[in-house]
Chain A
Amino acid sequence: MAKIKESKNLADWIDQRLGTNTLTKVLMTEYWIPKNINWLWAMGVVLLFLFTMLVISGIFLLMYYKPDGNLAFDAVNYTIMQEVGFGWVWRHIHAVAASMVFVIIYIHMFVAIYYGSYKRGREMIWIGGMLLFVVFSAEAFSGYMLPWGQMSYWAATVITNLFGGIPFIGPDLVEWIRGNYIVEDATLTRFFMLHVFLLPVVIMLLIALHFYSLRIPHVNNQEGEEIDFEEEAQKYQAGKVKEAKVIPFWPVFLSKDIFIVCLFMILFFYLVCFHYDFAMDPINFDKANHLATPTHIYPEWYFLWSYEVLRGFFFSANLGLIAFGIAQVVFFLLPWLDRSPVIKPAHKRPGFAVFYWLLIIDLIVLTVYGKLPPDGNAKYIGFVASIGFLILIFIVLPLVTIAERKKVGK
C-alpha cells in the first residue's frame, strides 16, 4: 500500500488516494498537441460539445417521452413542445444538435482526408472515427423514428425495407428488424431501446477508443510534419515555449477550442430558436399514417449522398443496393486505398488534390440530387455521380497515389 501522509488540502488528500495529479498530467497538462494547427483542429471538441448537448437534452426529453405508437406523437408535439415548461428548448436543441453533429462530423472527416491524417500509424484513429460515424448514423436513424411523424414512419419503412434485398434471408430479416410485417408499435419500442440505451453506450465507448488511439501516433499538424514529441515537450517544459513545436492540451490547446466552441454556440442557438426547419422536417409534424404515403420520401440531409448512390442505379435495384452497401463502408478502407506514404495537406499533393476536390463536388451533387425527385435528367445525373463516386474511390485515388509514391521514390 502506498504511504499515506497527512494531507495539506483536499486536492492532496484525493491525489494520495487516486493519483489525480499524475492523471491530470497524462490527460491534460502533459498531453502534447502540435502548435502548427488551425481552427479545423477544434472540430473534435465541438463534437464533444454537441454530444454533451444531445445527452443532456435527451435526458430531459426522456422524462416525458412515451415510446408507444398511440402516444408518441402527442407526447412529443403536445406534452413536450407545449405543455412542459421549456420542453421545446430541449427538443429543438436535440433535433438541431443531431443535424449539426453530422455537419461537424463531415468537416472533421474531410479535414482528416485533406491533411492525410488517416495513414502511417494513424489508421486506428481513422477506423475509430469511422465507427463513430456509423454508430452515430444508426443513432440518428433510430432517433428520427421516435416522434412517430409521417417522415419517421416512411423513412423507417423505406430503410428497413432495404434489408429485404439481401439474398436468401432478406424478407425474414426485414420482419425480424421490424418485429412485425409492417413498421409498427413493436418497431418503435425496439428503436427506442437502441436510441436511448444501446447505441449511446457504444458511442461513449467508441469516443474513449477514439481519444485513446490518438496517444501513440499523436495529432497531425497543418504541414504533415513529423514531430519528435518528447524532444519538443522537453523544450516546452524548459521554458522555450516559442521554439517548441508542441503545446499542452490544457490550457493552451483547449483555450483555443473553447473560443471556437463559443463562436459555434452563437450559430447553434440561432438555429435552435430561429432556423430549425432543416433539422425538423415540417412533414414530420403530421402524425404517422400507414395508409397515406407522402408524395416525397427522403432521408435527413446527411444520408442523402449514400441514398442517391442507392437510387442512382435506377435500372437495377440490386446494383443500387450493392453500391449503397459499398458506399456505407468504403471510407473504412481509405488508409489502404491511398497508396502513397506522403503526409501533406492536399494543396501540396497535386494529384491527390484533384481527387479530393472532385470527391467533394461529387458528394455535393449526390446530396442535392438525393433529395430531388428522380424524374427526367435528375436520374441520369444521379447515375453519373454514383458511378463517379465509385470510380473516384476505387480507381482515381489508388492511381494518383501510386504515381505520387513513384515520384517521391519509395
Chain B
Amino acid sequence: MREIKIFIIVAVIVGVIYWGVEPLAHSIMHPSGAPVDFAYKDLDKFGKFDISKGDVAKGKDSFATACASCHGLESQGIKAPMDDETAGTSFGVVPPDLSDMGYMIDHNFLAHFIKDPVRAAKLSAKFQVDCSLDKDQANCEKLNENKAMFPMMAASGLGLSDEDVTNITAYLVSIAPKAMSDKAVFINACNRCHAVEYDKGQYDNIFDKNAKSGYGDALHAHTKAEFVEKYLGAKAPDLSMMIRSRGEHYLHDFINNPQNVPLADIRNAILNSMLNEAKNKEKDSLANLPQEQKVAKSKEIDLKTIEDYKITLPKNTMKDEWQSDDNYTNLALQMGVMPVGKSMPRFGLNEKAQAQVVKYLEQVGDSKKEQRENVGYYLIGISILLAIIAYFWKLKIWRDLH
C-alpha cells in the first residue's frame, strides 16, 4: 500500500511539472487564431461565383487572351511563355502552370484569386488590392499607398467581368486531372518557392506506384531564393523537416491561412493604434505651449498607457456573421493595422489537396513513422513480458524474507 501511495505522490508531482512545461507553456506561447476555413468565407463579400454555371468553351477563349501570356497549361499543350530564369527575373516569381489548379485549389477561391489575387492571397500588407471592389474606396486607396503592384493583374485590370472569371474557372476545373499523387500536389503547390533537400527521389515509388525510387537530385525550388526574398520579403525555407519542427496541427492551420495570427495579437494591434492616436491628439493640443514645456509634456504623454486613456475595444460591429466575437480581423484591416503573419501567400488549397501536402511532408521528413510505431509496440510488449517474469522472480526470492 505504501509503495502505491508513494507512486501516486511522485506521479502527481511529475505530472504537474509536465503539464506546466508542455501543454500550459505551449498554449501561452502559441495563442490560438481563427479556426481553419476551407470555404474561404472571408472572400464572399467580394462577389459570389457559381462555377457550375460557367461556360467552359468561353472560358477557354478568355484564358487564351487573358492568362496565357504568362501562364502555361501543359496538359493542354500550352507551354509557359518564358523559362524559369527569365520569368523569375521579370515577375519576381515563376508563374505557375495552371493545368492542375482545378484539382488542388478550392473553386470559389480560384475565382476570387482571378478577380483580385492580392486579397485572395492575403498579401495586402505588401501589395495593392483592387479598390473597385471596396465599399470605402477612399480608405482603400489610402491603404494602397506606397505598396507595390502585384505581378498578376486583378480581373478588372484585364477587362474581365465576373462572368468571364466564372468561365475561366470552369475551364480550369474541366481540364483538371481527377487524381494526383501527394508529391505532384506538393510540386505544383509549394515547389515553386520551397525546396525539399531531403527528397532525392528515394520515396517516389511510395507516392506513385508506377514511378521508380532512386537517389538523384534533391527537390530544388523553381524560383531562386533571392527572387522570392525580393518578391515577398523573406527567403522561403526548405521544408524537409517541417513535419517535425512544426507538426501536423500547425501545418494544417498555417497552410490554410499564413496570415492566421493569434486573435489576441489582432486586438492588441487595434488597441495600440488607438493609444497612439490618443497620444498624438493630446500632443497636438500642446501646440501653443512654450517649447520646453512642450517637450516635457510630450515625454509624459509617451509614457501613458491604455488604462490612462481608458481605451477599450469598440464593439465588434465589422465582423462577418461567421466570425467569432473576439475576431477583429475586419476592423484591423480597415484601420490598416492587421498584424502580418508569415510572408507566404495564401494558396487556397482545398482540404484534400492540403492533406496531401501534409502527407508528403510527413513522408519526406518523418519517413520512419510507421516503423517507429511498430517497433514501439514490440518494445513495450517485451518490457511488459520482462516485467512479469521479473515480478515472479522477485516474489520467489523475497518469499522467505518477511
Interface residues of A (CB under 8 A from B): 35, 38-40, 74, 77-78, 81-82, 86, 88-89, 92, 103, 107, 241-242, 247, 251-252, 255-256, 258-259, 261-263, 265-266, 268-270, 272-274, 277-278, 282-287, 295-296, 301, 304, 360, 364, 367-368, 371-373
Q: How far is the CB of B183 from chain A (nearest CB, A)?
A: 16
Q: How far is the CB of A93 from chain B (nearest CB, A)?
A: 10
- B198 near A82 with CB under 8 A, answer yes
Q: CA of A248 to CA of B75 in the docked complex: distance in angstroms?
A: 80
Q: How far is the CB of B19 from chain A (nearest CB, A)?
A: 8
Q: Among B16, B245, B387, which residue has its beta carbon within 8 angstroms of that of A265?
A: B387
**CB-defined contacts of B91 to chain A, threshold 8 Å:** none
Known contacts A273-B376, A278-B22: A283-B245 contact under CB 8 Å: yes
Q: How far is the CB of B238 from chain A (nearest CB, A)?
A: 8
**CB-defined contacts of B380 to chain A, threshold 8 Å:** 266, 269-270, 273
Interface residues of B (CB under 8 A from A): 2-3, 6-7, 10, 13-14, 16-18, 20-22, 24-25, 28-29, 197-198, 237-238, 240-241, 244-247, 367-368, 371-373, 375-376, 379-380, 383-384, 386-387, 389-391, 393-394, 397-398, 400-402
- B6 near A39 with CB under 8 A, answer yes
Q: CA of A372 to CA of B23 in the docked complex: distance in angstroms?
A: 11
If over half of A's interface residues share one DSSP class (helix, strand or loop), that class is named, otherwise mixed; here it is: helix
Q: CA of A107 to CA of B238 in the docked complex: distance in angstroms?
A: 41
Q: Among B3, B247, B383, B398, which residue has its beta carbon within 8 angstroms of that of A38?
A: B3
Q: CA of A229 to CA of B353 in the docked complex: distance in angstroms?
A: 72
- B390 near A285 with CB under 8 A, answer no
**CB-defined contacts of B394 to chain A, threshold 8 Å:** 255-256, 258-259
Most B Cβ at <10 Å: residue of A256, A273, A367: A273
Q: Which residue of B lies closest to A35 (CB)?
A: B401
Q: Which residue of B lies closest to A265 (CB)?
A: B383
**CB-defined contacts of B241 to chain A, threshold 8 Å:** 77, 285-287
**CB-defined contacts of B197 to chain A, threshold 8 Å:** 74, 78
Known contacts A269-B376, A282-B245: A301-B21 contact under CB 8 Å: yes
- A266 near B398 with CB under 8 A, answer no
- B397 near A251 with CB under 8 A, answer yes
Q: Which residue of A lies closest to B373 (CB)?
A: A273
Q: Which residue of B lies closest to A239 (CB)?
A: B400
**CB-defined contacts of A256 to chain B, threshold 8 Å:** 394, 398
10 additional A-B pairs beyond A88-B372, A89-B372, A251-B397, beta carbons within 8 Å, are A39-B3, A40-B10, A82-B198, A242-B402, A255-B393, A262-B389, A265-B383, A269-B379, A284-B245, A372-B24
Q: How far is the CB of B188 from chain A (nearest CB, A)?
A: 24
- A273 near B372 with CB under 8 A, answer yes
**CB-defined contacts of A261 to chain B, threshold 8 Å:** 390
- A282 near B383 with CB under 8 A, answer no
Q: Which residue of A lies closest to B369 (CB)?
A: A88
Q: Which residue of A lies closest to B384 (CB)?
A: A266
